[in-house]
Amino acid sequence: MMATMQQIIVLANQKGGVGKTTTAINLAASLAAMEKRVLVVDCDPQANASSGLGIASDTGKGSIYEALFSPERITDAIYPSQLDYLDVVPSTPDLVGAELELVDRIGREFYLREALQNIGQGYEYILLDCPPSLGLVTVNALCAANALLVPLQCEYYALEGIAHLMRTYELVRKRLNPGLDFLGVVLTMFDRRNRLSTQVRNEVRNYFAGKAFETIIPRNVRLSEAPSYGKPALCYDHRSKGTQAYLALASELTRRYADAEKQNTEPVSA
Ligand code: ADP
Ligand code: MG
């Protein structure tokens, strides 16, 4: 039997509040519901993905911060979530210091990659939730991943800053991590009643052509309520539109990977 490749997906956008963390939590939960083994690695000192998945920040067992500087200790920092197939490496506010601590080190872009190498192949998907900046921690996440997923909020300035993000992606790919593919963009907080949302959707689909996911995440209050209960939306209100949208996104994503794998294997078997 052919082993499936481990997908390490980085969710990045230097803008805050665009839905990176909400997407990391709920895409991960949806993949877990499909019985894919998933690990969320919280790379943001604000630790919203950790708390949103019910992990307290002071559990004392370790976090991504310790794992960056003692990569072999990352396995101590893996916590179970409420979902059988979903685990979490949480973050803490200490991570703010990592940017400065890394800056003088040789190979400073590869600390997270080295830590993740100690996790082994037990997870089919590893999702890296980034802080709202293109600083060293985000660059570490870009260097540790093999696919970039960009959440974009359906608002007037949605595409602002995207050129800068895509330039960073190209530079990382050229100089640091040639194995990083562009997975695509996912539109979040879409409001059907708002003409602007539709306009932004069309603009983004033009700009990114086939790289925009068909699935669009609607603005849905359940998605914003669930984190305060430390739960992904599907454990909080599984019938909500938000839950359903992320389940659809997870199937679209796994379908894309399955198609890509098929294409890659066909020439071999011919
Ligand atoms: P980021 O991680 O990019 O900073 P978040 O995922 O934390 O963004 O989202 C910013 C805020 O918007 C949060 O309060 C979150 O609960 C809310 N939010 C995100 N996506 C949605 C959505 N689809 N519908 C309603 N609220 C959302
Ligand atoms: Mg966030």
* Confidence grade of residue 4 (pLDDT, cut at 50, 70, 90): low
The C-alpha atoms of residue 110 and residue 215 are separated, in whole angstroms, by 32
**For the CA of 14, the nearest ligand:** 1
Looking at ligand 1, which residue's alpha carbon is closest to its atom 1? Answer: 17
Does residue 59 have a pLDDT over 90? no
- Ligand 1 centroid – CA 19 distance (Å): 4
The C-alpha atoms of residue 163 and residue 169 are separated, in whole angstroms, by 10
Cβ(18) to ligand 1 under 6 A? Answer: yes
Computed over every residue of the chain, the mean pLDDT equals: 93
**For the CA of 197, the nearest ligand:** 1
Cβ(48) to ligand 1 under 6 A? Answer: yes
Tens digits of per-residue pLDDT, 191-234?
Answer: 988 888 889 899 999 999 889 999 999 999 999 999 999 999 99
Note the Cα 2 to chain centre separation in Å. Answer: 26
Q: How open is the CA angle 225-229-235, to the nearest 5 degrees?
A: 85
Looking at ligand 1, which residue's alpha carbon is closest to its atom 20? Answer: 19
Does residue 142 have a pLDDT over 90? yes
**Amino acid 23: pLDDT:** 98
Write the CB contacts of 197 (distance below 8 Å, at least 6 apart in sequence).
154, 190, 191
**For the CA of 19, the nearest ligand:** 1
Cβ(17) to ligand 1 under 6 A? Answer: yes
Cβ(16) to ligand 1 under 6 A? Answer: yes
Cβ(20) to ligand 1 under 6 A? Answer: yes
Does residue 83 have a pLDDT over 70? yes
Q: Count of residues for the chain?
A: 270
Cβ(133) to ligand 1 under 6 A? Answer: no
Give the CATH class of 7-260.
alpha beta
Mutate to test the pocket of ligand 1, among 13, 21, 22 (most ligand atoms within 8 A of CB): 22
- Structural domain boundaries of the chain? 7-260
HEC string of 37-86?
CEEEEECCCCCHHHHHCCCCCCCCCCCHHHHHHCHHHHHHHCEECCCCCE
User: Which range, of 2-16, 43-57, 67-81, averages the lowest pLDDT?
Assistant: 2-16
> 3-state SS of the chain: helix, strand, coil percent to 5?
50, 15, 35
- Ligand 1 centroid – CA 155 distance (Å): 13
* Confidence grade of residue 264 (pLDDT, cut at 50, 70, 90): confident
Cβ(177) to ligand 1 under 6 A? Answer: no
Looking at ligand 1, which residue's alpha carbon is closest to its atom 12? Answer: 17
* Confidence grade of residue 151 (pLDDT, cut at 50, 70, 90): very high
Is the separation of the CB atoms in 247 and 253 below 8 Å? no
